[in-house]
Amino acid sequence: MAANPEPDAAWHTDPFGRHEARWWNGAKWTEKVRGGEQTGIDPPGIAVAPQGIPLNEPASPIPGRRMIRLFGRRLPGAMLLSSVALVAVIVLVIVVVAVLI
């Protein structure tokens, strides 16, 4: 005999919180559900959100952790230097082409 036997097959409070009661077949929860006097089948494929976790708010940072910078402090300077270098190369190409023609 098992130390902790499974409960008998019966209607129990729905552990997923989607219906008033869910059928326990003695081994596992089934798709049979009940609300009031109506009995039905729980539609498959519907994900249940955990209770108490707001899904429409941004996540809060983890306490004690530093925020990660996506871009360093030098990025604006590097972008400016790259832009100046690109303009210089374009001007040089135009001058060389004009001299050769």
Q: Which residues fall within 8 angstroms of residue 61, CB to CB, at 6 or more apart? A: 67
Q: Where are the beta strands (DSSP E) in 20-86?
A: 21-24, 29-35, 38-41
Read off the pTM: 0.41
Q: Where are the domains of the chain?
A: 1-39
Q: What is the pLDDT of residues 67-91, one digit of tens each?
A: 666 666 777 788 888 999 999 999 9
* DSSP state for residue 49 in the 8-state scheme: P
Give the integer Cα–Cα distance in Å for 21 and 26.
15
Rg (CA), the chain: 33
Mean pLDDT of the chain: 82
Of the candidates 52, 13, 60, which has an alpha carbon nearest to the alpha carbon of residue 34? 13
Q: Which two tokens stand for residue 42?
A: 């729980």
